Chains A and B, each alone.
Chain A
Amino acid sequence: MTRALGRVVKHALLVAATAASLAPVYVMVSAALKTQPTFLAHPWGLPLHPTLNGFRSALADQFPRWFANSVILTSASVVATLTLAALAGWGFTRWDFRGRDTLLGVLVSLMVVPPVVLLVPLFVFGVKLGWISTFRLVILIYVGLMLPFSIYMLANFFRTIPRSLIEAAVCDGASSWSVFRRIVLPLSAAPLVTLAIVNLLWVWNELLIALVFLQDDSKKTLMVGITGFQSRYSLNVPVIMSGLTLATLPVVTLYVFGQRYFVRGLVSGAVKGE
């Protein structure tokens, strides 16, 4: 009897947590498909007469430009990060040199430095060089911020590659570069995908740095753009929600298809294996 009751309570708790997690997302998507009057009358109701007007207005605004800016920034900084991190991670794993563990330790502690701490000096630097509202400075900062975790994670993975494999190749006369290209990289597809997904989500969702360093209207990212959307369309909630839905779509797609990899990436800092 108490067993059955316990089971009901447990299940109810799970269902409640799931409902609470999904409710705001439901509100976003359903409101995007309504008209303003329907939204005001039935904010929680299903969109019985779905309309795409909200999406149309959002897309007619500067939305596509912001979207494109976010895509450029995200892809460039993630590609650069993966490349540099793979090289450095292998450098840390393949050779045992003095101070290696100290360097890795410093790298790990850099993961917790809050970006706001770096804001003032980097901004002054950007002003001096006239690099405010340019992608190159923001990409540089993003890459720098993503590198500590990326190097740490890849170095941890590279350590699991059997040494005999590398030594056999070296005996056959392979150069360091071809060992890296032909052996290490092909074995590292899974961690590289994981790292790419974790980093893609981080850059796409980043607000603070984009806000400070990309002030020019033509350079704004999606996250900065939708933050301003809110006040501009305060009388037309479906347009706001359409914009939010479009901004979330790539993230959710990535999450749905890369869930395995993503979870593995987040957990890798805390738990070995899964």
Chain B
Amino acid sequence: MNVSGAVAADRPHQRRRVRLGRLEPLVWIAPAACVVLFVFGYSMVELVRTALVYQGRWAGLANFRLTLSDSEFRTAVEHNARLLIAVPLLVASALVLAILLFEALRGWRFHRAAIFLPYVLPIPVIGVIFGQLLELNGLLNSALRSLGLGFLAVDWLGQPRWALWTMTGVIIWKELGFGVVLLLARLLSLPMETFEAARIDGARFFRLHRYVTVPQLGGVIAFYVVVEAITMVSWVFNYVYVMTNGQGGPGDATVVSELYIYQTAFQYQAPEVAASAAALLFGATLLLIILFFRVQRRTGVGIDD
């Protein structure tokens, strides 16, 4: 395939190294650059073009107007916004678990491996398992009933009122491990003296972590917040698709922007609308990442320190 092609293509150039001069780095980068340019560059240009054209004719912003006035699109965006509630919950729980693992001497490796496991499991697998667990007569409700908590048993994924919150819970279950591992790695890389000094001064659990640990983790927490915010806005398709059979149901209770793009493009055959929705989604993620760099520059905490 193109692997051997790329390697072989480089060989003859090396002997003519002197003549290549300033162009040499280009030769090394070119194969990867071609693929990236095709997948991202070509697609982005085509995307914008599709969004601005209707039936071969220049349409200006008409497609965008159409997309923005579609109530289904607005519902989808609102659902993405509601999913953002998962971010503070994730940060808080990841922080608590990372600190507990950091302090626990016995068996922390086992706990860490277990807590991280959901993050490596495929989302389709998780979606199908949780689909079974969360049915009206599924495993979760039967467990609740046998514990005498039957009043808590609801149709988790079947009721429009609960479906999106249930989805949020599943996403938190899966994404939590990433934060725990991230924060724990940072904690383990801090010099031990920081904690020792505070301990000798008599700082107890809450004071110690509130004033010593959390400030040290600032950069990593910011990184985790951005990654998860981007996830909630633009990477939740798999959960919704698998747990609702590709419908975003019940009704439109769990439609998110990615599913909207997928459906308008491939089920309703309206690529112009799908493209303008995709361009808007891209704009939203871009905004998030710019915001992140701004905050980083102002506070002076890099993700690297």
Contacts and interface: CB of A to CB of B under 8 A. Distances in A.
Interface of A: 6, 10-11, 13-14, 17-18, 20-22, 24-25, 27-28, 31, 43-44, 76, 79-80, 83-85, 87-88, 90-92, 94-95, 97, 100, 107, 109-110, 112-114, 116-125, 139-141, 143-145, 147-148, 151, 175-178, 201, 204-205, 207-208, 211-212, 223-224, 226-227, 229-231, 237, 240-241, 244, 247-248, 251-252, 254-255, 259, 262-263, 266-267, 269-274
B24 A17 contact: no
B84 interface: no
Contacts of A151: 32
Given A114-B281, A116-B258, A227-B242, A175 B38 contact: no
Contact of A117 (B29, B121, B281): B281
B129 interface: yes
Given A119-B261, A266-B182, A269-B303, 10 more contacts: A6-B205, A76-B1, A84-B35, A87-B7, A120-B46, A144-B35, A240-B132, A252-B120, A255-B117, A270-B223
A180 to B, nearest CB: 8
Contacts, number: 285
Residue of B32, B39, B286, B305 ringed by the most chain A CB atoms within 10 A: B32
Contacts of B44: 117-118, 121
Given A117-B282, A255-B120, A88 B32 contact: yes
9 contacts: A18-B110, A25-B117, A88-B29, A119-B262, A125-B42, A144-B38, A223-B124, A272-B189, A272-B304
B52 to A, nearest CB: 13
B128 A112 contact: no
Contacts of B188: 274
Give the interface SS of chain B, mostly helix, strand, loop or mixed.
helix
B59 interface: no
A221 B11 CA distance: 36
Given A27-B129, A270-B223, A270-B224, A95 B43 contact: no
A230 B103 CA distance: 42
A87 B32 CA distance: 8
B61 interface: no
A94 B15 contact: no
B64 interface: no
B139 A27 contact: yes
Contacts of B50: 120-121, 124
Contacts of B6: 83-84, 87
Contacts of B24: 95, 176
Interface string B108-133: 00110111111011111111111111
A91 B29 contact: yes
Contacts of A90: 28
A176 B185 contact: no
Contacts of A94: 25, 28
Interface in B11-46: 11, 14-15, 17, 22, 24-29, 31-33, 35-36, 38-40, 42-44, 46
B128 A118 contact: no
Sort chain B's interface into a size bin.
35 or more
Give the interface SS of chain A, mostly helix, strand, loop or mixed.
helix
B120 A271 contact: no
A258 to B, nearest CB: 10
Interface in B251-281: 258, 261-262, 265-266, 271, 274-275, 278-279, 281
A140 B129 contact: no
A75 B305 CA distance: 35
Contacts of A97: 22, 25
A178 B285 CA distance: 41
Nearest to B180: A17
A274 B189 contact: yes
A22 B124 contact: no
A88 to B, nearest CB: 4
B234 A91 contact: no
A251 B32 contact: no
Given A88-B31, A273-B189, A205 B122 contact: yes
B241 A207 contact: yes
Contacts of A204: 122
B149 interface: no
Interface stretch (B65-73, B93-101, B158-166, B195-203): B93-101
The 4 closest A-B pairs by CB, nearest first: A144-B39, A91-B28, A121-B46, A114-B234
Contacts of B219: 270
Given A18-B114, A112-B289, A84 B104 contact: no
